[in-house]
Amino acid sequence: MESESLKGVLATTTRPPAPSRLSASLTMGWRAMLKIKHVPFQLFDVTVFPLMMTLLFTFLFGGALAGSTREYVQFLIPGILVQAILLITVYTGIGINTDIKKGLFDRFRSLPIWQPAPLVGALLGDVARYSIAGLMVVGLGFFLGFRPGAGVGGVLLALVLVLILAFALSWVWMVVGMMVENPESVMTSSFLVLFPLTFVSNIFVDPATMPAWLQSVVAVNPVTHLTSASRGFMHGGLQWVDVGLVLLASALITAVFAPLALRMYRRER
Amino acid sequence: MTPAIEARSLVKVFGATRAVDGLDLHVPRGSVYGLLGPNGAGKTTTIRMLATLLNLDGGSARVLGHDVVREAAAVRSRVSLTGQFASIDEDLTGRENLVLVARLLGLGWRGARERTDELLAAFDLSEAAGRRVRTFSGGMKRRMDIAASLVVTPELLFLDEPTTGLDPRSRSQVWDIVRAIAAQGATVLLTTQYLDEADRLADRLAVIDHGRVIAEGRSRELKRSVGGSTLHIRIQDPEERPRAEAVLRRVLGPEVQNGADEDHLSAIVPDDARVAAALSELAGAGVRLAEFSMGQPTLDEVFFALTGRPAEDQSRTPDGEAEEEK
Ligand SMILES: Nc1ncnc2c1ncn2[C@@H]1O[C@H](COP(=O)(O)OP(=O)(O)OP(=O)(O)O)[C@@H](O)[C@H]1O
Ligand SMILES: [Mg+2]
């Protein structure tokens, strides 16, 4: 090692003023983008599951459920978009858990930055991940014959609404990620919630054929309303009450879990 | 000038474990100071309290003149911490990691890239800089980690076991880095389990046992108080060990230990001139030597001399059982 250049590099610095909140958060968002670039796998392993469900349901049950596979794809894709994005929210919690384990949060916390910046930055990265997953679903759908009546605009509006609930859920997994021991536990505990939440809904079939007790469960599930709204945006026939309920659920979840996450983050470890 | 670190009766309790238990520390500015102690002695916990990452359960500490509780932000903007386990993002490349830290310290994109290139060159990492850190060797990760702590030169650098697990070459690279940092006038507080490392790098050191300082001073003084260097002998016939032990006790004094191997003995030497006498007395007593050597006392020996017990692993899990090997 060059001891002269070592001395030079140690001598030259003066401390710049601390970065603004926005700059620190954007830098953390840049880090999230780099992670997507270097580890694209984190997008695929969870998204692959809804994509597989799409193919299975379309070709196995599509004809039986909706008369033809083409018909069924129109019904299914807006819902699969919801499921795919809600499932990858788990990665927010896994990411935070890994950062704590690896001592990265210690480094961030010892820097003079706005303390929530790592959390906010992670959410910025999530926008990208969620959007890419959404594009993959719609892309596959298009290939299978999905033709949204309301065009690209409708798809984008649906995506925005899904992102809102996804953000709210991200805060939940952040809390879980800071609570449990390892990434596997984050995965397990969140799937215990997300699987029932996305399957006991109207994503795959019309609840009209379900037993009455199940119908009432499906009816209070926010995912059901999100899926209805997603279909409404994409094909027309939107019920604004669905949008309202999704926004309400998102606001409630965020109001509880965002402050909790921030408090847990500030707490020592 | 105020000292770099002034800590009084620091206490940190985790459940039933008193990880730090009334620790006092005085580190003058511009020095390299060593914290020496076995696993679980409380070194990491002490450093994390001083770096404002942990609250204090008792006592008080001022770092570079600022109270670690009331003026945590002021402390944070003057110190850097390189933790025991590399705190770099393994999914990112070496260069990206440093740019990230530089940006978070407030440098512009351009300044961050320039600073990163300087650091990479100085730390001998330029070639690997485009690779993901996951593929780096242990020594490279350590250097990355230290480089990340030096993006802005701190007034005080905490280094938690900077060389544990490194091969001799990487270890001496890290030593060079520590010396270079000290030569620039910064203060370094480092923890280590190796007395020879503390001896090479640190001007002063504190020996920690169960969260308390049990000895403090210049490392040379400390070693002398332990009894200076150690004579190690291996004998050809293990049967002769009791005889050898008796001779060593008579010539060198009471600090004689039987080693784990049955042919090994070690004795702390109060005065180097007595070694020759000890060896000839052994020969006179008919003890045949296979090998002998003089060594610096190890942490074990210092510990034994200071506490009368070996330096066993002091880590405790919440149920009070010794932790498994890391
Ligand atoms: N977060 C924690 N929760 C519970 N116990 C802890 C925690 N951190 C440390 N301890 C305990 O406190 C004691 C001191 O630990 P510390 O990590 O400070 O020791 P150390 O001297 O750094 O050891 P090592 O050489 O193994 O790094 C140990 O018994 C350890 O098990
Ligand atoms: Mg430690």
**Residue B206 falls inside a structural domain:** yes
Short-list B39, B18, B20, B37, CA closest to B323: B39
Tell me: do B139 and B205 sit in the same domain: yes
Q: Are B56 and B69 in contact (CB under 8 A)?
A: yes
In this prediction, residues A144-170 reach a mean pLDDT of: 94
DSSP assignment of A193-222: HHHHHHHSSSSSS-GGGS-HHHHHHHHH-H
Are B79 and B197 in a shared domain? yes
Query: Given this model, what pLDDT does residue A72 score?
Result: 93
Query: pTM value?
Result: 0.82
Q: Which residue of A has its CA nearest to B51?
A: A110
DSSP letter, residue B128: T
The predicted-structure confidence for A47-100, as pLDDT tens digits, reads as follows 788 888 889 989 998 888 888 999 999 999 999 999 999 998 998 899 999 998
Confidence of residue A269 (pLDDT cuts 50, 70, 90): low
Q: In what helix (H) or strand (E) does residue B235 lie, and over which residues does it extend?
A: strand B230-235
Start-to-end C-alpha separation, chain A: 36
Helix axes of A240-266 and A151-179: crossing angle, nearest 10 degrees: 30
Measured in angstroms, the CA of B171 and the nearest CA of chain A are apart by 12
Side chain identity, residue B295: G
For residues B267 and B254, what is the distance between their CA atoms, to the nearest angstrom?
8
Claim to verify: residue B164 and residue B275 sit in the same structural domain:
no
SS3 content of chain B, % helix, strand, coil (to 5): 35, 25, 35
User: Do the beta carbons of residue A46 and residue A93 sit within 8 Å?
Assistant: no
pLDDT, tens digit, 9 for 90 and up, residues A13-34: 678 888 999 999 999 999 999 9
Question: What are the pLDDT digits (tens) for B266-297?
Answer: 888 877 788 888 999 999 998 999 999 887 76
Q: Are the C-beta atoms of residues B241 and B209 closer than 8 Å to each other? A: no
With CB atoms and an 8 Å threshold, state whether A110 touches B81. Answer: yes
> What pLDDT, on the 0 to 100 scale, is given for residue A40?
84
Task: Please identify every stretch of chain B with a pLDDT value under 70, giving residue numbers as ranges.
Answer: 224-228, 297-300, 310-311, 316-326
Decide if A22 touches B, using CB distance below 8 A. no
Q: How many CB atoms lie within 10 A of CB B84?
A: 18
Which domain, by its residues, includes B182? Answer: 5-223
In a shared domain, residues B130 and B244: no
The ipTM is 0.86
Spatial separation of the C-alpha atoms in residues A235 and A229, rounded to whole Å = 10
Q: Which of B159, B189, B223 is the last residue of a domain?
A: B223
**B204 and B98, same structural domain?**
yes
In chain B the first and final C-alpha atoms are separated, in Å, by 41
Contact call for residues A262 and A116 (beta carbons, < 8 A)? yes
pLDDT of residue B99: 97
Q: Using CB atoms, pick whichever of A7, A38, A103 lies closest to residue B183.
A: A7
B323 is a domain residue: no
pLDDT at position A155 over 90: yes
> From CA A253, how far away is CA B289, in angstroms rounded?
76
The answer to whether residue B319 sits within a structural domain is no
Question: Which residue has the least CA distance to atom 26 on ligand 1?
Answer: B39
Q: Is A220 on the interface with B (CB under 8 A)?
A: no
User: What is the pLDDT of chain A when averaged over all its residues?
Assistant: 90
Q: How many domains does the structure of chain B reveal?
A: 2
Distance between CA atoms of B64 and B223, rounded to whole angstroms? 29
Residue pair B154/B170 in contact by the 8 Å Cβ criterion: no
Q: What is the CATH number of the domain that holds B50?
A: 3.40.50.300
CA proximity to A229, closest of A244, A207, A250:
A244
The reply to whether B189 touches chain A by the CB within 8 Å rule is no
Same domain, B24 and B155: yes
Nearest-Cα residue of chain A relative to residue B124:
A1
pLDDT at A12 (0 to 100): 60
Q: Taking the alpha carbons of A104, A107, A110, A112 in that order, is the dihedral positive or negative? A: negative
Q: What confidence tens digit (pLDDT) does each residue in A162-212 have?
A: 999 999 999 999 999 999 989 999 999 999 999 999 999 999 989 998 999
Beta-strand relationship, B289-295 and B264-268:
unpaired
**What's the CATH code of the domain at B240?**
3.30.70.100
B53 in Cβ contact with B81 (< 8 Å): yes
Last residue of a domain, one of B189, B223, B257: B223
DSSP secondary structure of B63-123 = ETTEETTTTHHHHHTTEEEE-SS--S-TTSBHHHHHHHHHHHTT--HHHHHHHHHHHHHHT
Q: Does B111 touch chain A (CB under 8 A)?
A: yes
CB within 8 Å: B148 and A6: no
Q: What is the pLDDT of residue A245?
A: 96
Q: Which of B161, B195, B223 is the last residue of a domain?
A: B223
Please, which contacts does B195-198 make with residues 24 or more away whose CB atoms are closer than 8 Å? B195/B36, B195/B219, B195/B223, B195/B296, B195/B297, B195/B298, B195/B299, B195/B302, B196/B296, B196/B298, B197/B34, B197/B163, B197/B171, B198/B34, B198/B36
Q: Are residues B27 and B114 in the same domain?
A: yes
